[in-house]
Amino acid sequence: MGATAVPATSGLSEVGTRPRFGDYLADTWQLRTFALRLAGSRLIAGLLPNRLGVLWVVLKPLSLAIVYGTIFNFILAGAARPANFVPYLIVGVFVFEFFTGCFGSGSKSITSNSKLVQSFGFPRILLPISVIAEQAMRMVPVVLLLGILLLVLGEPVSWSWLLLIPILAVMGVFNLGVALVVARISVRTRDIQQLVPIINRVLFYASGIFFNIDGALGGYPVLLTIAHLLPTYEFIALARDVMLEGYAAPLLAWIAAPIWALVMIVGGVIFFWQGEPRYGLSD
């Protein structure tokens, strides 16, 4: 037996081996509080140095909504302009920010924690999970602000508003799947992190944040179908459906959104788990 071989009965395992999938999920569940604490500490650490602190959580999406609303309020016309433009825009911007935060931070969840990854043994999937948990925490004041703004803008309060919570929860599952995929790719090809802002910008315009997809692409059935199948569009359409009076999401959105979430979380977890032995060598 060679010097580097490990006896099967020693109880030791070779460094860099992939744990069995069931054991991996069990260990992840047992250490779930680690991910939550990491998310909370990172959120606080990121906000405390700023003078306005936690206010930046709501100021960023609000400022984006104001900028885009001011610009496109004068540009959009005809069928592309939503009937209730300002509430339509605000819901779109606020919900899309949830995706961009998870996507961007998820891509760096392993590479930006290289010291932690190399120093301690734990399921690395906890790092992308902590990113989604942090972004979910950020969404709490954002959702509260959204409700206040819609009230100010004259939207009637409805029990359907409560459905925004499960919609964002399903979107969080989808976001986690995306984060897992991009996190693993970033370990081997960090250039993907440079593409994330570009992809976010493309999805921002393709998801109809500030214009009516059906009105703008009504004459282009192929492009319209593609736009309707974008997961970001699906979740934003569902949020508008439950929050805005007079807006109804396509039936396809109610069907496709949970399917997107299921496909991404299953595929993302398996894809990330398969790369587990490499994460300690990210640098």
pLDDT block averages, 10 residues each, the chain of length 283: 42 60 92 89 68 61 71 58 81 92 90 79 90 92 89 90 96 96 88 86 87 78 87 95 90 93 96 85 50
The predicted pLDDT at position 4 comes to 43
The predicted pLDDT at position 7 comes to 44
The predicted pLDDT at position 174 comes to 97
The predicted pLDDT at position 19 comes to 84
**Is there a contact between 283 and 118 (Cβ–Cβ < 8 Å)?**
yes
Q: CA 109, CA 18: separation in Å to the nearest integer?
A: 19
**Cβ contacts of residue 219 below 8 Å, gap of 6+?**
none
Question: Any idea what the Cα angle at residue 117 is, between residues 116 and 121, rounded to 5°?
Answer: 100
The predicted pLDDT at position 65 comes to 72
* b/e map 40-61, b = 16+ CB within 10 Å: eebbeeeeeeeeeeeeebbeeb
The predicted pLDDT at position 179 comes to 95
Domain positions in the chain are: 21-276
